[in-house]
Amino acid sequence: MKKLKSAREIPIGTAIEDAGCSREYHTGSWRNFRPIHDKEKCVNCLTCWIYCPDGCVQVKDGKVVEFDLKYCKGCGICAEECPAKGKAITMVPEEKKE
Ligand code: SF4
Ligand code: SF4
């Protein structure tokens, strides 16, 4: 039976050469679903801002103003965690976004 490698034996697979280089990776280009924000239902608790793994939720003066779709990969975490009654974020298939 083949012996598995330890973590120390596995080569390093990536390197971050410049701080902030993730800005170059527009993960929104492969999104299947996009979040649609309902300002009427939103209570501006900022839970979505805290949970979004890509920092897409844009906040101004304590209120959600938009979702940066250049980086939103459509994971739906924001919609799942939104505590607003009736949910203030709905995930919609890209082909039905109109
Ligand atoms: S989690 Fe929902 S209610 Fe809270 S700020 Fe985001 S959209 Fe609004
Ligand atoms: S769908 Fe995912 S990546 Fe997009 S705004 Fe919500 S939490 Fe962020």
Per-residue pLDDT, 14: 74
Q: Probe ligand 2: pick from 22, 37, 46, 78, max atoms within 8 Å of CB?
A: 78
State whether the beta carbon of 54 lies less than 6 angstroms from ligand 2. yes
Identify which ligand lies nearest to the alpha carbon of 35: 2
Give the number of domains in the chain: 1
In a domain, 73, yes or no: yes
Tell me the CA distances in angstroms from 30 to 14, 46, 81, 85, 98, one per residue in order: 21, 25, 22, 30, 18
Q: Tell me the pLDDT tens digit for each residue of 79-91.
A: 999 999 999 999 9
Element (H, E) at 44: none
State whether the beta carbon of 34 lies less than 6 angstroms from ligand 2. no
In a domain, 49, yes or no: yes
In a domain, 72, yes or no: yes
Per-residue pLDDT, 2: 79
In a domain, 66, yes or no: yes
Q: Which residues of the chain have pLDDT under 50?
A: none
In a domain, 40, yes or no: yes
Per-residue pLDDT, 89: 98
In a domain, 69, yes or no: yes
Which residue range is the domain that position 96 belongs to?
Answer: 33-98
In a domain, 11, yes or no: no
**For residues 48 and 51, what is the distance between their CA atoms, to the nearest angstrom?**
5
DSSP state of 81: H
What CATH number is given to the structural domain containing 55?
A: 3.30.70.20
- Give the angle 52-56-61 at the CA atoms, nearest 5°: 100
Per-residue pLDDT, 38: 97
**For residues 90 and 76, what is the distance between their CA atoms, to the nearest angstrom?**
8
| Structural tokens at position 50 | 């805290």
Its pTM stands at 0.82
